Amino acid sequence: MRDGASYMKYGVIGLLVVGIGLVAWRNFGPAERPGRSAQIVAPQQLSAAASLGKKAFDDNCARCHGGNAAGTEQGPPLAHDYYNPGHHADGAFFVAVANGVRQHHWQFGNMPPQPQVTQDQTRLIIAYIRELQEANGIGYKPH
């Protein structure tokens, strides 16, 4: 009987260790977890369109999507493979800005429309995001 009690004791201790490990992983795990800001490399030089797009992004998008589109606790990183041109084409950004978008990849809730951002500004913001993505090794992947 004593051996059965030992197995039970070690089993309970093992479950506690696994549980603590899972909690630690969830709270301190990879940066890709929603709400965590990723380390994004800024391009050394931006095109003229992307430079204007950075200004428009910083003025309208960075509050939620973070500096260099790295994400915040309010919005996802756009310099992320989820938003590569093969998965989210440029048109998806135009629709999201004009109409808002329902939550689908992340747990931040729906994005509301951004009526203050013009289509020309959106085009420049997309140029900026695409150059950020390219600088971070994010390219077209078919969806």
For residues 7 and 62, state if they share a domain: no
40 domain residue, yes or no: no
37 belongs to a structural domain: no
Q: Which two tokens stand for residue 91?
A: 């048109």
Over residues 25-64, the pLDDT tens digits come to 444 444 444 444 458 888 889 999 999 999 999 999 999 9
Q: Quick one: 6 and 61 in the same domain?
A: no
81 CB contacts (<8 Å, ≥6 apart)?
87, 138, 141
Tell whether 142 is covered by a domain. Answer: no
Query: Is residue 88 one of the residues assigned to a domain?
Result: yes
> What residue has token string 């600088």?
135
Tell me, yes or no, whether 102 and 129 share the same domain: yes
In a 13 Å sphere around the CA of 126, the CA atoms on its Cβ side amount to 20
Kindly report the pTM of this predicted structure: 0.72
Asked if 24 and 73 sit in the same domain, the reply is no
Residue 15, domain member (yes or no) = yes
Report how many domains make up the chain: 2
- pLDDT tens track for 67-90: 999 999 999 999 999 999 999 999
